[in-house]
Amino acid sequence: MPNGLNADAREMRVDPADIDVLDERYRVSLSAASPELIESIRTLGVITPPLLERTPAGFRIVCGFKRIQACMQLSLNQVSARVLAYGRVPEIDLLRIAIADNALKGGLNLMEAAAATGKLMARLEDEKDLPDTAAAAGIRITPDLARKYLRLQSLPETIQRMVYHDMTSMKVAFELGTLNQQDGDTLANLIETLRPTTSQQLEMLTHLKALSALQQSSVSNVLLRLPATPILEDERLDRKAKIHHLRREIRKARYPHLARFETAFHINREKLDLPPGLSLIPSPGFENPAYTFALEFETCGELAQKADYLGVLSNHPAMREIMKREIEDT
């Protein structure tokens, strides 16, 4: 914080109507005033006065966008604020104050850090000064991270919104950004609806892009050819079940040979007629040739009986069919 700021800022009462809330040059936090903040100001008033800069047209906000918004929603006629004289403090210093105010209170999420980076770089004469300037504002920005933040800001709003609300990672966001607008929006809406994990998002995205290339069709059309809509609209399925079924359908379309093998496996496993307490478990997605037998037993005699049965299974025709695993990726 620049020296002399506290002396320069004058405590006064301001009419919210005189504050230009559309001037967001110093805005870093992208969230709106929460119901909790509004209720706190309703009952206790503004505990920490916002920082404003006087302008020829009125006032602009440096720190306290959400506090001002809450006061306006409460239709308050006056707001206690600290006011700086116009032009008294350089823009770059006011921006650092705004960033520090947010960073020290609750930290910045990815999109807020990206916004802060873009605004700092727009006011710096030399980009090499960014790390030190950012550090003085309470955040760490390396040149590589700055490039990623600027790339985030160039993505469509639907993808930026997902990153802001922590629905997806920066890596997935960049992958979505390589798609055309329609495909990017389609997958963004799908992720917003189902909220799969980052690894699940990457898996589905990778398979869908591969299918798009193989079929020479858009990702949106690839999804339309899959039973995606019935899965998403099936009220009997919860969110996790929908993710499971959708991933399976996408994987079946991407690897039809594995889908055929899965069907044959289930048929042959039924032929084994396994007794209760004995289960044959394939690898996830049938991508590994290894299998697992799970045994449940309560006595040593029951264990011996099931162990003997495993020996019999090794010569069962259906078990031999399962172990052939003659898969051709066509």
In-domain check, residue 201: yes
Same domain for 129 and 177, yes or no, is no
CA 166 to CA 109: how far, in whole Å?
Answer: 8
Q: Is the model's pLDDT at 2 over the cut of 70?
A: no
- Total domain count for the chain? 3
DSSP 34: P
Q: Above 70 in pLDDT, residue 316?
A: yes
**Top-confidence residue, 327 or 9:** 9
Please check whether residue 157 lies inside any domain of the structure: no
Burial class (CB in 10 A: 0-12, 13-18, 19+), 179: buried
Token pair for residue 267? 């048929």
Residue 159 lies in a domain: no
Model confidence over 273-302: pLDDT tens digits?
898 889 999 887 677 788 999 999 999 999
What is the pLDDT, as a whole number, of residue 239? 93
Residues 14 and 36 reside in one and the same domain: yes
CA dist 251 → 117, 213, 289, 322 (Å): 39, 15, 17, 20
Q: What is the pLDDT of residues 16-68, one digit of tens each?
A: 899 999 999 999 888 888 899 999 999 998 888 999 999 998 999 999 999 99
Do 60 and 97 fall within a single domain? Answer: yes
Same domain, 23 and 113: yes
Contacts of 45 (CB under 8 A, 6+ apart): 80
24 in any annotated domain = yes
DSSP-derived secondary structure letter, 22: T
Q: What's the pLDDT band for 329 if we cut at 50, 70, 90? A: very low
Q: What pLDDT does 138 receive?
A: 86
Query: Which domain, by its residues, includes 26?
Result: 5-152
Same domain membership, residue 142 and residue 13: yes
Do 94 and 31 lie in one domain? The reply is yes
**Are the C-beta atoms of residues 292 and 307 closer than 8 Å to each other?**
no
Question: Cα–Cα distance between 68 and 196 in angstroms, integer?
Answer: 36
3-state secondary structure 222-273: HHHHCCHHHHHHCCCCCHHHHHHHHHHHHHHHHCHHHHHHHHHHHHHHHHHC
Does residue 329 belong to any structural domain of this protein?
A: no
Helical (H) or strand (E) element with 65? helix 65-73
Is the domain of 122 the same as that of 21? yes
**Are 12 and 147 part of one and the same domain?**
yes
Backbone angles phi, psi at 61, to 5 degrees: -85, 135
Are 205 and 270 part of one and the same domain? Answer: no
Check whether residue 10 and residue 148 sit in a common domain.
yes
For 133, phi then psi, to 5°, come to: -65, -40
CATH code for the domain of 131: 3.90.1530.30
Shared domain for 177 and 283, answered yes or no, is no
Residue 86 lies in a domain: yes
Residue 326 — pLDDT band, cuts 50, 70, 90? Answer: low
How many CA atoms lie within 13 Å of 96's alpha carbon, on the beta-carbon side? 21
Same domain (yes/no): 289, 319: yes
Query: Would you state the pLDDT for residue 233?
Result: 86
CA distance 286 to 130: 49
Specify if 164 maps to a domain. no
Residue 330 placed within a domain: no
Token pair belonging to 68: 């001002």
